[in-house]
Structure 1
Amino acid sequence: MSDAITIRRIGMNEAMACVDALADVLIDCVEGGASVSFMLPIAKETAVAFWRRAAESVALGERILLVAESAAGRIVGTVQLITAQPENQPHRADVAKMLVRRDARRQGIAQRLLEAVDDEARRAGKSVLVLDTVTGGDAERLYERAGWLKVGVVPNYALMPDGALCGTTFFHKQLV
């Protein structure tokens, strides 16, 4: 089924044009319980403002934005690679906001987004990737299957969208 999905990098202008669709993906994920920095209820304006800032960051060359689109052109997933790092870490990037709509899950889209983000990181000259995710969630298993190495867990690190505390697992991946 994921063969009908296209993964591609988008620039600032296209990201701005896709803000509403990206906001819908974010809202769907948060409403589905994803702990990705937002709380319930998440207002459309909050999600749109986040994506506008992300698009501006793309324009500044601070991040790479990838989208997963259905054959009909609907954005069903996204991931970001934050390439702007401190002066002593030019070889590193953070993977952030790995999001797949609930109705598009279990089709290999997240795996394809991860493969694409690895490729983009290599093109950007990055050799070390880091990310964090909710401990015990589906994403944790996804990252382990994709070759990410668990660094450790911090209990009570963040809040779930409903306000419950959750642990966060940190991962890294060495690109060769």
Structure 2
Amino acid sequence: MNIVQITAETLPRYRQALAALMIDAVKNNMTSAFQHSQKMQQYQDAERYFHSLRNQMAHHELLLWIAIIDSVVVGSIQLNICQRPDGQNRAEVLQLLVHSSNQREGIGRRLIQTLEHKAESYQRGLLYLDVMAGSVAENFYRAHGYHYLGELPDYALCADGHPHPGAIYYKRLRTSPAENVATSY
């Protein structure tokens, strides 16, 4: 398995594979990214979603990695680098996806480790994320050192259009406060 960081320039090459990965995640209730619609519409929405990331990726505000096995994209993860002046110590974990046929092979673990290492190189000592409350993703993040912060009611719309609570998690990558933290792009 190879973990590859995608750039704004290389994203178009992987957009179709990422869209297929997202559709698999929606189909298997691993994400609530898109509401029920025709399969082709979901696929087009997923492609548009990944295309919309290019500007943030070009400005190094969003980082994206994929996991590849035998030339097939089997997983992905994103890191949103906080741009606020008071948020130079934090980043948000987004869209950890592993294809349903490749679950429990260590792909998610490798993706989250890669993301955490890169977050540290960006001097981000605090990571946070949200998942659907009650999902298996909660166990994954707890097993990787993330702490449950709380639940927000009606946080995300499920694929069927109904609101579902979100669980908020965080992880400190370093325990001491950062001194003179500067963004290194």
TM-score by length of 2: 0.87
CA distance in 2, matches of 1:132, 1:37: 13
Q: Write out per-residue CA displacement over residues 17-65 of structure 1, whole angstroms, 9 at most, x where no aligned residue.
A: 1111111101111121233432122522111111111133211211111
Supply the AA of the counterpart residue of 2:173. L
Which residue, out of 166, 174, 185, partners 1:168? Answer: 166
**2:31 aligned residue:** 35
CA distance in 2, matches of 1:141, 1:61: 30
Question: What is the CA-CA distance between 1:125 and the residue it aligns to?
Answer: 1.2
Secondary structure, in 3 states, of the residue corresponding to 1:170? Answer: strand
Which residue, out of 95, 102, 106, partners 1:104? Answer: 102
Which residue, out of 23, 33, 48, partners 2:19? Answer: 23
Supply the AA of the counterpart residue of 1:20. Q
Find out whether 1:63 has 2:59 as its counterpart: no
Q: Write out per-residue CA displacement over residues 87-146 of structure 1, whole angstroms, 9 at most, x where no aligned residue.
A: 111111000011111111111111111111101101111111110001111100000000
Supply the AA of the counterpart residue of 2:150. G
TM-score by length of 1: 0.92
Supply the AA of the counterpart residue of 1:30. V
CA distance in 1, matches of 2:154, 2:61: 29
Secondary structure, in 3 states, of the residue corresponding to 1:38? Answer: coil
Supply the AA of the counterpart residue of 1:44. Y
Aligned-residue CA RMSD in angstroms?
A: 1.3
Q: 5 Å matches for 1:118-133?
A: 118-133=116-131
Which residue, out of 158, 165, 174, partners 2:156? Answer: 158
Supply the AA of the counterpart residue of 1:80. Q
Secondary structure, in 3 states, of the residue corresponding to 1:33? Answer: coil
Question: Is the CA contact 2:32–2:156 (under 8 Å) kept in the aligned structure 1?
Answer: no
Secondary structure, in 3 states, of the residue corresponding to 1:12? Answer: coil
With 157-166 and 125-134 compared, the bigger mean Cα shift is at: 157-166
Question: Segments of 4+ in structure 1 off by > 6 A?
Answer: none
Give the 3 Å change call, closer, same or farther, for CA 17–56 of structure 1 in structure 2: farther
Which residue, out of 5, 8, 12, partners 2:4? Answer: 8
CA distance in 2, matches of 1:58, 1:52: 10
For structure 1, the 5+ residue unaligned runs are none
Question: What is the CA-CA distance between 1:165 and the residue it aligns to?
Answer: 3.0
Q: Tell me the percent identity.
A: 27
